[in-house]
Amino acid sequence: MKSHLLLDQLDFDAFERVVILSPHLDDAALSCGGLLHALQGVSTLVVTLCSGNPPPVSSTDGRAKLPARRGHVSPRIRRAEDIAAMRAINAEFVHLSFPDSIYRRSPDSGKLIYRSARERWAAPHAGDAAHIEELFQLLRRICLDLGPVLLVSPMGIGDHVDHQITARVAMRLAAAAAGASLLFYEDFPYVAQAHSGRGDADGPLAALARLHLAPAKRLVVPVDVDGKMRVLRHYVSQVPVLFGSDENMRAAIEGNAHEGQACERYWRARNTGIDTPARPAAPTPRKRKAVP
């Protein structure tokens, strides 16, 4: 499919606001850092969904405490990193208080919904339905009824459950308002690293197919590699986990290229005529190699 320059294809003056949906406290910078830089001066808002502290649990002595999951960084630290990154690129942002999937618990049983890494790299669990509905209702108030809005959503490459939920909610938001236009971004670094995410070289066409969508147009945004790296270096807790080193991060950004130029890719999509499930399905057990 032929690629088009995104900034030449869209009239941003036609939108009241551009809203970039970020599942976690680094996804917007990782996947849309080049677009954010290009849109300085345009009314743009980054909404991070899973920014909240984990729900407290009771210890054996009856006192409430914040749970920790091995290998994961405190949301407070990650919020501070994201604030620094967004300020460095002059981006408006809001952090919603929904917890990451690793901390979400069933409203019925109180047990963790996603108890293992494997379950977080599969379809959204039925026990997450209340969370998804609450997320949709809140984002509807934030994103819609402001006039024409461009929603920019992950497409779910890598199959992370929070990215899938964000994409499904974005589709509902776009369908709920005549003035909303939807654009999907390729989830980075999953699209550039075959071993990351669910571990089987997932790609944009497969991600769209899971949403019962077909590609309509592929758009690219050239990336200033040094500029994007300066922004991503604010995520001190995440860069070593995602890339291992500064050199590897540069290689991943440069390797995601179009006609020899580092870029970010965005997609317009069309419905295939198959309805997206209204409620999340239970996960199918699969072996996955996950990036935290």
Cβ(121)–Cβ(282) under 8 Å? no
Sequence-distant (6+) residues with CB within 8 A of 276 are 168, 171, 211, 212
Q: Which amino acid is at 199?
A: G
Sequence-distant (6+) residues with CB within 8 A of 177 are 144, 145, 149
Sequence-distant (6+) residues with CB within 8 A of 289 are 195, 196, 198, 199
DSSP letter at 218? E
Q: Which amino acid is at 246?
A: D
Mean pLDDT of the chain: 88
Pairwise CA distance, residues 187 & 196, whole Å: 11
Question: pLDDT digit string (tens) for 23-64?
Answer: 999 999 999 999 999 998 899 999 999 999 988 765 556 565
Cβ(234)–Cβ(85) under 8 Å? yes
Q: Where are the alpha helices (DSSP H) in the chain?
A: 6-9, 27-38, 75-88, 129-143, 161-176, 204-210, 225-232, 239-242, 246-255
Q: Is the alpha carbon torsion for 235, 236, 238, 242 positive or negative? A: positive
Residue 90's region, left for phi above 0, alpha for psi from -120 to 50, else beta, is left
DSSP letter at 126? G
Question: pLDDT digit string (tens) for 206-235?
Answer: 999 999 999 999 999 999 999 999 999 999
Reported as a pLDDT band with limits 50, 70 and 90, residue 274 is: low
Q: Does the model's pTM come out above 0.85?
A: yes
The burial of 87, by beta-carbon neighbours within 10 Å (0-12 exposed, 13-18 middle, 19 or more buried), is given as exposed
pLDDT at res. 286 = 41
Reported as a pLDDT band with limits 50, 70 and 90, residue 120 is: confident
Cβ(176)–Cβ(144) under 8 Å? yes
Pairwise CA distance, residues 267 & 4, whole Å: 10
Average pLDDT rounded to a whole number, residues 261-265: 97
Following CA atoms 136, 209, 149, 173 in sequence, which dihedral angle do they give, to the nearest 10 degrees? -20
What superfamily does domain 3-54+70-271 belong to in CATH? LmbE-like (3.40.50.10320)
Question: pLDDT digit string (tens) for 61-119?
Answer: 656 555 555 557 899 999 999 999 999 999 999 999 999 999 999 988 888 999 887 88
Pairwise CA distance, residues 46 & 50, whole Å: 12
